[in-house]
Every structure is written in structure tokens, then in C-alpha cells.
Amino acid sequence: MNTTQPSSIDENEIILGTGMGPLRFGATMDEVRTLVGEPEEIEESDDDDDFEHQAWNYHEEDYLLSLYFDREDDFRLSCIETDNPNMRLFGEVIYGKNVDEVKALMQQHNLPTPELETMEEGAVRLSYEKSMIDLYFEEGQLQFVNFGVFINDDMEVQWPK
């Protein structure tokens, strides 16, 4: 179930299946470089990773922004991870919210019941598989979000228009 959100040019607004602010899934590395500049760090995937990719890391004053480019998608932007304290979803700041608050927000926007997993180190992951978003909580509060381009039931990438 694809949930559309209003377009936003706010750099901190997560738009499911589309990107965040001006960063749009499907952008080339050159387009991303033009928007946000050179990354402070580039990580290459390990040989034993299922998907060959590059992660571009931008270390801002109080947060990290990681942008992922997969080889099988011609190194186009396909995933974003951030712990930006100003990140918003559906117009609401979500950083620091608890699991129930985030679940309620998602339910208001007709997202189905998520998967909830407690990780080894005690962190909690809330996953909305169809919406391609994972939300990570530590000590009961949302700390970072990982979200990506939509993929249909045939495992085909659905680039935003």
C-alpha cells in the first residue's frame, strides 16, 4: 500500500517512497553532490554483502546523514538514513517520540501494522515493510530512521516521478 504525502521542499521532511526534502530517490551521484556537496566519508560495501553499494556520510553538527547508492540500481540514490533531530514525517517532528506515538502517527496515515523487533543491544526497530521505512528506538525514544525507494511485489524498484 503506497501512501502518498504532500510534496515538501523542507530539507527535513521525509516523504515515503520519494526521499527527504530536495533529495529524491533515483538521483544520480552527481545530482546528489550538487545538492549536498562532497561527503565527508564514502563507505564501500564488503565483498560478502548481498548488494554492492556505496554509502555517502555527511557529518553535520548534531547528526549524521547517510545516503546509499546501489550498484544494481546504477548507483542511483535508493536509501537514506538519518538521526537528524529535526526530521519530520507527515509534517510532525518524530525524533524523540516513543514507539506508541510513532505507531499512532503511522496509523493516522493508514500504514498497516508494523513489525516490532528488539535488537541484541536492547534497541527496538519498528518496520513498515511496504512503506520501506525502519525506525530505531533507544531507551524508548526514536533515534534514527532508515527509509528507501518503494519496491513492488515483483521486487522492481518504483522510482518516484
Number of domains in the chain: 1
> What is the reported pLDDT for 48?
62
Residue 8 lies in a domain: no
Tell me which H or E stretch contains 135.
strand 133-138
Instruction: Give the CATH number of the domain where residue 125 resides.
Output: 2.60.460
Tens digits of residue pLDDT in 28-84: 999 999 999 999 999 997 766 666 889 999 998 889 999 999 988 899 999 999 999
What average pLDDT does the segment 128-139 reach?
A: 96
Cβ neighbours for 111, distance < 8 A, ≥ 6 positions apart: 1, 3, 128, 130, 131
Q: Is the pLDDT of residue 104 over 70?
A: yes
Q: Could you tell me the residue range of the domain that residue 100 belongs to?
A: 13-151
pTM of the model as a whole: 0.89
Residue 36 lies in a domain: yes
Confidence bin at 110 (pLDDT 50/70/90): very high
> What is the reported pLDDT for 112?
85
Residue 161 lies in a domain: no
What average pLDDT does the segment 112-123 reach?
A: 91
Residue 63 lies in a domain: yes
Residue 111 lies in a domain: yes
- Select the more confidently predicted residue: 62 or 1: 62
Cβ neighbours for 157, distance < 8 A, ≥ 6 positions apart: 73, 78, 149, 150, 151
Residue 25 lies in a domain: yes
